[in-house]
A and B are shown apart, each in its own frame.
Chain A
Amino acid sequence: MKQYPRGGIAEPGASLDYHTGSWRLQRPVHVHQAAPCHHACPAGEDAQAYLALVEQGRMQAAWESLVTANPLPAITGRVCPHPCESACNRGQYDEAVSIHGIERFLGDEAIRQGWAYPVAPPPADAPVVAVVGAGPAGLSCAWHLLRAGLRVDVFEAESEPGGICATAIPGYRLPPDTVALECGRLMALDGIEFRPGQRLGRDIQLHELRQQYAAVFLGVGAQQARPWSIDGVTPGDLHDGLALLQEWKRVGQIPVPERVAVVGGGNTAVDLCRVFKRAGAKRVMLVTHSGMPGPGVPDPMRALPRELAQAQEEGVEVLTHRGVRRLVLRGEKAVGIETVHMKKLPDAEGRLRRVAFEGTESLLHVDMIVPATGQDVDGRGFEELLKGSAALAIAADGAIGTPGVYAGGDVTGNAGTVTAAVGQGRRAAAAIVRSLQREAGIDWTDAAPVAFAALNTEYYEPMRRHHGAVLPPAEREGELEVEQGFDPAAAQAEAGRCLSCGNCMACDNCYTLCPDTAVLKTRDLAEDGSHYVFDYEYCKGCGLCANECPTGYIQMVVEP
């Protein structure tokens, strides 16, 4: 006869006899989804992974995690338009996490502390790949090839690595030392041979490289001034925007007009305006077809909003939605431009077309007009690959259709940013490694990212975004860096703002709240990288864990 035990304490194990798992219609599963920052990063950085390490104060481990995607964080942390932050789910909660600030901090710390790049020297007999161009695309490609165990010879026309970062981006937003140290450390790695002063078509020939190397990567950039005229008229003293920036960087001075108009809406145009201000120009005007970046603006300028704002602080006048209608010349020299208001409006077929508004013309007196409307690819040395095109067309993996030759960066005409070039270099490296029948070891996520709506934001506290110090406009002289980085405490605190979208952050919600104790906590990481396993013998499938998971990492699926 069954008996009532003292105090109603059920016999040991009695509750385990009820295998409530048989009641289940749905089961919770762990689904590691890409965070929006990861998904949005053109270089494929998993920001969430390194933010988690920074939050724990494990700075070197964080940097090592970061460079598995991007070996140039000190550079990209400064110049990238950080689409990761535009995508950051935290932006819909309070303010996006300052991912670029932390990326920069890690890059700077690695240089300052001399952290070794996490890579083993390749075997002496490893295949050797030629990388032409030591800009962001080439450096990234070389790094990822080295990580895959290959040797790399990097050919560079200039004397130093860095590409446009070394030659054209002004020092006030990307200090030359940062570029030299970060790129130099990379080029000094065992397995990478840096060959400066080697221009394709002059010192080295493509067909020779194709014969001598297991593969060739072209990352030669786009640095040729694009022909520019207004109705076929150009001033005799026409300067190209990029060329002026390069001159400023190389020589430290440029011709200084009283009043100058820079035409364009990208970072080159903005950089040039700010350089003119620093060089002593009285009045600097930026003339652009586009509008100021902002919510709901259909045609924003491509320049970074914060760069644009700083330019305005420094006195640059931004004339938006203007086109240059006519040049006013005295002899060969520009003395003015006539501008007209323009806007993108839908045409009869509904396509947006730029329309000039007659009667809105106005005359600007300037001593100089500088186009900064983009550069073309200088095809010398690989004319046969261009086949008359303006840029090299590449597949997603960087292949250009010619066996053994890959490309990335501005030479492809669609990189646009340093970070995108890093990403293209990385993808091409993966393709090269695979073409050599090797394990690429480079994962790339294309899965849809976790939406803000999938998060349970009740579990997060509002917290202000951290900002590094910014030099006041009055103190911005010469090449002094305008934006200061984070100190370790700020970096760590800012990393703590990461919501960990789509990933387990070991908050214990599922473990604590499961009414059936069917979530078990593991001492070490579980197989799927979380800290928990579901005990499906007892999980009733109530979905509480999925609902209370702050990050969307737990999802309910129909019971198989």
Chain B
Amino acid sequence: MRQALEGSQAIARAVALCRPDVVSAYPITPQTHIVENIAKLVADGELKCEYVSVESEHSAASVALGAAAAGARAYTASASQGILLMCEVLYDIAGLRIPMVLTCANRAVSAPLSIWNDHQDSMAVRDAGWIQIHCADNQEAVDTTIQAFRIAQDTDLPVMVCVDGFTLTHTLEPIELPTQQQVDDFLPPFVFARALDPRKPLSIGTMATPDWFTEARHSHHGAVLAAAEVIAAADADWQRITGRCGGGLLAVDGPDDARIGVVCMGSITGTLQDARAASPELPAARIIRLRSYRPFPAQALREACAGLDQVVVLERALAPGGVGIVGAEVRAALYGTPDAPRVQSVAAGLGGRDMPLTTYARLIALAQAEATTDFAILDVELDKLPEADRYAAAAMAGGQA
């Protein structure tokens, strides 16, 4: 049955449907409503699980790590500074190959302090070794959260489900919550082969000498790459049960004969689709949404870009002094393919800056421009800065909206 639910509330209900054993969390905007709602479900007796209120995100991740290592289905959620405080534990969870699920309610990272949405936080832990899946809307956030638990236990890897803070977490949407039966059919009980057992003592997290560290990293890297098939399979299975799919590794939308492609992640997708529909005078671009960012779906991306002359990557995070975090990877994936399109990259919507429908026209203009922009910030307003702090080359021409 469809119901109007706030994104956070829907995610909390999705977590509950997965029958977690342990949820540990520390509140942070804009993640708070998610864990608040889970806590309420536990307090109301609707969810039987150990809900652990901790004193920091470091502890939240540590508790989940310990619980999962002991064989519990574990969940936590955070955002921004909380993700950074969890950082060393996130590396541990992944390196120890502990299956669990974390929701990242994507938010900018301080300083300057900002509670609003961009992707800087999940990007900051990009290399921790987690699977990272970005959701376009709250229905997909619900579906992906449930899929994430299965992906985690099928890969022995932790899964970070990224949802745009406020844009998704605090927005009401009509949501189709699956039934408990549907979830139970999809998600088998959690059985962790390496679960800790006091009757069989063992050591985890022991030191790996140079003789072994490379092999440890190799197996981890390989596992994340191999997770691509599991992610696609989970989405396909989910579609068989519910009729909905998130698009597997990446979702492609647009005409087959399009010459311009826009690559993006998260909830901006809907804005771009609406703008394209509302602007018949502009060329209809192929919108390629990376759903799985880790593993990075290079092969699927190459296939999705077939026939394109121009690709513009819309970034939601910044690597200062770099050439665009996602853009660099897209460029690398397409490099050397026959008739490879020109790849340009821009960042937009940093720290919650609004991205109106006109964003689409700016991206089309960029694709049609003669000059190539390796990377720039799309919506910077230079006149807000003192003369000495303006860098025209790093900003899109005509940035002032």
Does A10 make an interface contact (CB < 8 A)?
Answer: yes
User: Is the beta-carbon distance between B95 and A8 smaller than 8 angstroms?
Assistant: yes
Those 7 A-B pairs whose CB atoms lie nearest each other, nearest first: A7-B97, A10-B203, A7-B96, A15-B203, A12-B200, A9-B204, A4-B215
Q: Within 8 Å CB of B202, what residues of A?
A: 9-15
Kindly provide the distance from the CB of B48 to the nearest chain A CB, expressed in whole angstroms: 28
Extra contacts, 16 of them, besides A6-B156, A7-B95 (Cβ < 8 A), are A4-B216, A4-B219, A6-B97, A6-B219, A7-B96, A7-B97, A8-B96, A9-B194, A10-B202, A10-B204, A11-B202, A12-B200, A13-B200, A13-B201, A14-B203, A15-B202
Within 8 Å CB of B208, what residues of A? 4, 8
Contact A8 B204 (CB under 8 A): yes
Type the 1/0 row for A237-266, where 1 means its CB is closer than 8 Å to any CB of B: 000000000000000000000000000000
Q: Which of A4, A6, A14 contacts B212 (CB 8 A)?
A: A4
A7 and B200 contacting across the interface, CB-CB below 8 Å: no
Q: Tell me, yes or no, whether A188 is within 8 Å of chain B by CB.
A: no
0 or 1 for each of B270-292: is its CB under 8 Å from A? (1 = yes)? 00000000000000000000000
B265 nearest CB across to chain A (Å):
28
* Range of interface residues on A (Cβ < 8 Å): 10 to 19
Across-interface contacts of B321 in A (CB, < 8 A): none
- A15-B201, A16-B201 known; A10 and B216 CB under 8 Å? no
Contacts of B219 in A (CB 8 A): 4, 6
Q: How far is the CA of A7 from the CA of B155 in the complex (A)?
A: 12
Residue of A nearest to B200 (CB): A12
Contact of B206 among A6, A10, A12, A13 (CB under 8 A): A10
- A12-B201, A13-B201, A16-B201 are contacts. A7–B98 as well, Cβ < 8 Å? yes
Collect the chain B residues with CB atoms within 8 Å of residue A7's CB: 95-98, 156, 194, 204
Determine the distance from Cα of A13 to Cα of B198 in the docked complex, in whole angstroms.
11
Does B322 count as interface, using CB distance less than 8 angstroms?
A: no
Shortest distance in angstroms between B293's beta carbon and chain A's nearest beta carbon? 23
Within 8 A of B (CB), among A1-46: 4, 6-16
Which B residues are in CB contact (< 8 Å) with A13? 200-202
Q: Which residues of chain B have C-beta atoms less than 8 A from A8's C-beta?
A: 95-96, 204-206, 208, 216
Residues of B whose CB lies within 8 Å of any CB of A are: 95-98, 156, 194, 200-206, 208, 212, 215-216, 219
Residues of A within 8 A of B194 (CB): 6-7, 9
Least Cβ–Cβ distance between B200 and chain A, in angstroms: 5
Q: How far is the CA of A14 from the CA of B95 in the complex (A)?
A: 19
With a cutoff of 8 Å between Cβ atoms, the chain B residues found around residue A10 in the complex are 202-204, 206
CB distance from A514 to the nearest CB of B (A): 14
How many pairs of residues, A versus B, come closer than 8 Å at their CB atoms?
45
Q: Which residues of B contact A11 (CB under 8 A)?
A: 202
Instruction: Please indicate the chain B residues that have their CB under 8 angstroms from the CB of A15 in the complex.
Output: 201-203
- Tell me which of A6, A7, A9, A16 has the highest count of chain B C-beta atoms within 10 A of its own C-beta: A7
Q: How far is the CA of A8 from the CA of B202 in the complex (A)?
A: 11
A15 and B204 alpha carbons, distance in the complex (Å): 10
CA distance A6 to B96 in the complex (A): 8
Complexed CA–CA distance, A7 and B223 (Å): 11
Which chain B residues border A4 with CB–CB below 8 Å?
A: 208, 212, 215-216, 219
A533 and B96 CA atoms in complex are apart in Å by 33
Say how far A2's CB is from chain B's closest CB, in angstroms.
Answer: 9
CA separation between A12 and B204, bound complex, in Å?
A: 10
Q: Which residues of A contact B203 (CB under 8 A)?
A: 9-10, 14-15
Looking across the interface, which residue of chain B has its beta carbon closest to that of A10?
Answer: B203
Assembly CA distance A56 to B39 (angstroms): 37
Q: How far is the CA of A11 from the CA of B203 in the complex (A)?
A: 8
Report A515 CB to chain B, min CB distance, Å: 13
Complex interface: chain A residues within 8 A of B96 (CB): 7-9
Taking CB atoms, residues of chain A closer than 8 Å to B200 are 12-13
Instruction: Tell me the complex Cα distance, A16–B201, Å.
Output: 8
Q: List 9 A-B contacts (CB under 8 A).
A: A7-B95, A7-B156, A7-B194, A10-B203, A10-B206, A12-B201, A12-B202, A13-B200, A14-B203
Instruction: Please give, as numbers and ranges, the residues of chain A lying within 8 Å of B97 by CB-CB distance.
Output: 6-7
User: Please, which residues of chain B bring their CB within 8 A of the CB of A12?
Assistant: 200-202
Which B residues are CB-close (under 8 A) to A9?
Answer: 96, 194, 202-204
- Closest B residue to A5 by beta carbon equals B194
Q: How far is the CB of B133 from the nearest CB of chain A, in Å? A: 21
Distance in Å: Cβ of A240 to nearest Cβ of chain B: 73
Give bound CA distance, A409 to B219, whole Å.
84
User: Nearest B residue to A15 by beta-carbon distance?
Assistant: B203
Q: How far is the CB of B389 from chain A (nearest CB, A)?
A: 47
Separation in Å of the B330 CB from the closest CB of chain A?
Answer: 31
* C-alpha gap A167/B194 in the complex (Å): 78
CB distance from B94 to the nearest CB of A (A): 9
Question: Would you give the shortest CB distance from A460 to chain B, in whole angstroms?
Answer: 26
CB distance from A104 to the nearest CB of B (A): 46
CA distance in complex: A77, B391 (Å)? 89
Could you give, for residues 365-406 of chain A, a 1 whenever the CB lies within 8 Å of some chain B CB and a 0 otherwise?
Answer: 000000000000000000000000000000000000000000
Within the complex, what minimum Cβ distance (angstroms) separates B158 from chain A?
11
Nearest-neighbor residue (CB-CB) of A2 within chain B: B212
CA distance A254 to B174 in the complex (A): 100
Residue of A nearest to B96 (CB): A7
A9 CA to B202 CA, complexed, in Å = 7
Distance between Cα atoms of A15 and B200 in the complex (Å): 11
| Complex CA–CA separation, A16 to B200 (angstroms) | 10
Q: Bits for A192-213, please: 1 = Cβ < 8 Å to B, else 0.
A: 0000000000000000000000
User: Scoring A residues 42 to 79 as 1 if CB is less than 8 Å from chain B, else 0, what string do you get?
Assistant: 00000000000000000000000000000000000000
Contacts of B201 in A (CB 8 A): 12-13, 15-16
- Considering residues A6, A11, A12, which has the most beta carbons from chain B within 10 angstroms of its beta carbon? A6
B152 CB to closest chain A CB (Å) equals 13
Q: Give the CA-CA distance A20 to B97 in the complex, in Å.
A: 29
- Taking the nearest CB of chain A, how far is it from the CB of B221, in angstroms? 13
